[in-house]
Amino acid sequence: MEKRSTNRKSRSDYYRDWVAKNRERVREYKREWKLRNPDKVKAARERNSQWMKGYLKEYANSPEGKEVNKRAHEAYKQRFPDRVRARSIANNALIAGEMEYGECEVCGCKAEMHHDDYDFPLDVRWLCFQHHREVHREV
C-alpha cells in the first residue's frame, strides 16, 4: 500500500495505458461511431478545415511559423541539393531571359518546372501541379 503512493497513476495515465493496450478496440469503436454519425463527422471535418485554413494562414505569418518554414526549406536543401541547385540555375536563366516560361506539356495549364535530370539544369519540362506530381509518382 505504501509503495503505491509514490507511483500513483492519475486517471489519464490509466486511460492512456488502456488505449495503448487496446488500439484495435479503440480503432474499431471510432470506426463504428463514424458510421453511426456521418453528420457529426462531416460537421467536424468542416469545422476542422475552416479552423486549419485560418490557423495555417496566421501561423505562416507568425515569427514561429516563418522560422519553421525556413528550417523546412533548409532541410530540403540539404536533402535534395542537386534538385535545389538545378532549380535555382533554371530560375536564373528565366530571369536572364535565356529560357521562357512554359505551359503544362500535358494539359496546357499554368506549369512549374520539372527536371528529368538534375545534372542538366536548363533541360526543363513544364508541368502543372497535378501532372508534375504524376510524373514523380511514376519515377
Residues near Zn ion (CB under 5 A), total: 7
- State yes or no: residue 128 binds Zn ion (CB under 5 A): yes
**Out of 107, 120, 122, 134, which residue is the one contacting Zn ion (CB under 5 A)?**
107
Q: Torsion angle, CA of 8/11/15/16, rounded to 10 degrees? A: -60
**Out of 87, 104, 121, 126, which residue is the one contacting Zn ion (CB under 5 A)?**
104
For residue 62, the one-letter residue type is: S
Kindly state the smallest distance separating residue 139's Cβ from Zn ion, in Å.
Answer: 9
The rounded radius of gyration (Å) of the Cα atoms in the chain is 25
Kindly state the smallest distance separating residue 124's Cβ from Zn ion, in Å.
Answer: 9
If the CB atoms of residues 121 and 131 are measured against Zn ion, the closer one turns out to be: 131
If the CB atoms of residues 85 and 114 are measured against Zn ion, the closer one turns out to be: 114
In the block, residue with C-alpha cell 462531416: 42
114 with 125: CB under 8 angstroms?
yes
Percent of residues in the chain assigned helix, strand, coil, to nearest 5: 70, 5, 25
If the CB atoms of residues 43 and 109 are measured against Zn ion, the closer one turns out to be: 109
In the block, residue with C-alpha cell 535545389: 84
- State yes or no: residue 94 binds Zn ion (CB under 5 A): no
Question: Where on the chain is the footprint of Zn ion (CB under 5 A)?
Answer: 104, 106-107, 109, 114, 128, 131
